[in-house]
Structure 1
């Protein structure tokens, strides 16, 4: 396999997880001798600079006519609206962007695209890879990956053609190599099981500023001056100034990191993480890092519940009872045995070698 065209978007409404996991896969493909090219639409809150800074070519698709309007502010918006244009227009834009490029394979990671897009883009019989989490629409591809815990191959049987290779479960989670590198050290520091430090990372965009509500909840609790809170915000965050001011008013140690380049190291230095239930959940599991899971999107709920069921995290509802649930969860995590047990459960979910496995399978299928 030589040139791989990767179709994924990031925005305030979509978040950054799709592009970030595609970056992890792209790094593995590049190390295997392929040339990944990203196709991303110019949407508010994109992280195209992150892709380019990682050394990959990115072709920016034209912004939609109403790209200044956030979906979160519209009524009756649907998953299809995340694309910004019709799927037909997206095909036209992608084909125009790739004119003259000999594409050997496509990888698509977008909830608004399905079999129709894949048929049009793969009509030259190029190898087609789909990354999905929902199992809610048909696909035409050679390989489909869904890393959700609790997902079964049977969920996709009626949605793909016979012969499609299905890579299911967090063993195939697409994590950057730094997480596997930090796994051993991170596991070793969990032996004591004390809660002295917490890291909060609600994703690259955090459009609802969940981070701010979490900081407020911490402020209402009684921690000694030795306690440390680390907050991580992505480059797409719009609440940096507000969060920084909130942290300055806390009675214990705190720090704010924006657009971090050493995420695995930062996470591994903490005793507990608070975050979403998307791709970052697998990062925390790889590091054996206990978690409080805040579900901000319906598509994350099943995965969060599966993690909670196996003891790898505590699920928090983001509603009127959030503060009470949060305080109860923190109190529970101050018990040593609880932290140790959750760390062990999390570590059993994934070892961080999903990219290596997936790239090996892709190579064997194209041998």
Structure 2
């Protein structure tokens, strides 16, 4: 058995739960019983976990609320001698100590190394900047750091070894800002693109696909925007790998979707929606993998439009970025991680 402890809210998004989902699927395929203990504001995400065959305990509040701690410990006490996987911005060394004191093996998925001490069996940081961080850990803790440990969901793995192909007669743009997009940056981006198109600055034929997550409460409002090019709206799409494979450019935020786009070889414009995304976006843009759009909250529309126009019109740049991105991720991180858990 493996117990996953991850939360999802409008502040933290759905990425932590989705990252756990990828590992949970692989463990379930090996015959492991999977349990999720989660505070989750997205009914669609809970439904996805349950449809995957996982047992789900839904918490009434988010860590570090005292009720959340007591409730989660109550659920954990039902289980013995198994792994607990923790993934979340709000979890801290105090919570990790509680889990270890209860006798569990602990895998911490962490992006920032900001805790003073990690009492864990494994610490995983799948980001490029993870290689540059220092973790103060208990003796014997195994550190799995860097892009060779990027976790991908099962549906992406059929694309291992497949190189990105681009459309020749038009440019297809995918807009996807995660499961929540609680500040509705999708609308801001679409209105900026609409201004660009109204100014007749685009020489290529364009098509847009806009994906809103299951927790996006602005989906109807976004769908109502009258775009001057063919635009498809999808809500809580289940075919993200296929969408990425058939689009030439993506516009996204600096969460877990970035790594999926890199694996699929999609040249992307990436904007920040939260401070933690600074680490990821800075590292990837410096390596020429993606273009940094800055903060969506204070979007520089002129810079964004110039960046998008460059990508649309420069097919060679698209191909160059695609090759660089796909060279980073081999799609086999799950196998490596599962191997570490069964050692």
TM-score, length basis structure 2: 0.92
Partner of 2:196, secondary structure, is coil
Match of 2:218 in 1: 239
Match status 1:351 vs 2:326? no
Q: CA RMSD in A?
A: 2.0
Residues 183, 289 of structure 1: alpha-carbon distance in 2 compared, 3 angstrom cutoff:
farther
Match status 1:111 vs 2:89? yes
> Is the Cα–Cα contact under 8 Å of residues 129 and 143 in structure 1 kept in the other structure?
yes
| 5+ long unaligned stretches in structure 1 | 65-81
Residues 33, 152 of structure 1: alpha-carbon distance in 2 compared, 3 angstrom cutoff:
same
> Is the Cα–Cα contact under 8 Å of residues 308 and 314 in structure 1 kept in the other structure?
yes
Q: CA deviation at 1:288?
A: 0.8
Match status 1:189 vs 2:165? yes
Q: CA deviation at 1:188?
A: 4.0
Distance 1:195 1:282 in 2: 25
Match status 1:298 vs 2:275? yes
> Is the Cα–Cα contact under 8 Å of residues 180 and 351 in structure 1 kept in the other structure?
no
Q: CA deviation at 1:46?
A: 7.4
> Is the Cα–Cα contact under 8 Å of residues 164 and 245 in structure 2 kept in the other structure?
no
Match status 1:5 vs 2:9? no
Match of 1:93 in 2: 71
Match status 1:361 vs 2:340? yes
Alignment of 1:200-349 (within 5 A): 200-222=175-197, 223=202, 226-246=205-225, 249-317=226-294, 318-333=296-311, 334-349=313-328
Distance 2:145 2:2 in 1: 22
Partner of 1:238, secondary structure, is coil
Q: CA deviation at 1:316?
A: 0.6
Match of 1:73 in 2: none
Match status 1:38 vs 2:36? yes
1:120 equivalent among 98, 110, 125 = 98
Distance 1:109 1:161 in 2: 18
> Is the Cα–Cα contact under 8 Å of residues 93 and 119 in structure 2 kept in the other structure?
yes
Residues 50, 41 of structure 1: alpha-carbon distance in 2 compared, 3 angstrom cutoff:
same
Partner of 2:178, secondary structure, is coil
Partner of 2:224, secondary structure, is helix
Number of matched pairs? 336
Distance 2:224 2:102 in 1: 54
Distance 2:133 2:139 in 1: 12
TM-score, length basis structure 1: 0.86
Partner of 1:47, secondary structure, is helix
Q: CA deviation at 1:303?
A: 1.0
Q: CA deviation at 1:90?
A: 3.3
Distance 2:327 2:49 in 1: 31
Partner of 1:179, secondary structure, is helix
Write the deviation string for residues 16-41 of structure 1: whole angstroms up to 9, x where unpaired.
00000000010111122221200012
Match status 1:83 vs 2:81? no
Q: CA deviation at 1:298?
A: 0.8
Distance 1:245 1:296 in 2: 23
Match of 2:174 in 1: 199
Distance 2:146 2:269 in 1: 21
Distance 1:233 1:32 in 2: 32
Distance 2:278 2:125 in 1: 15
Partner of 1:102, secondary structure, is coil
Q: CA deviation at 1:121?
A: 1.8
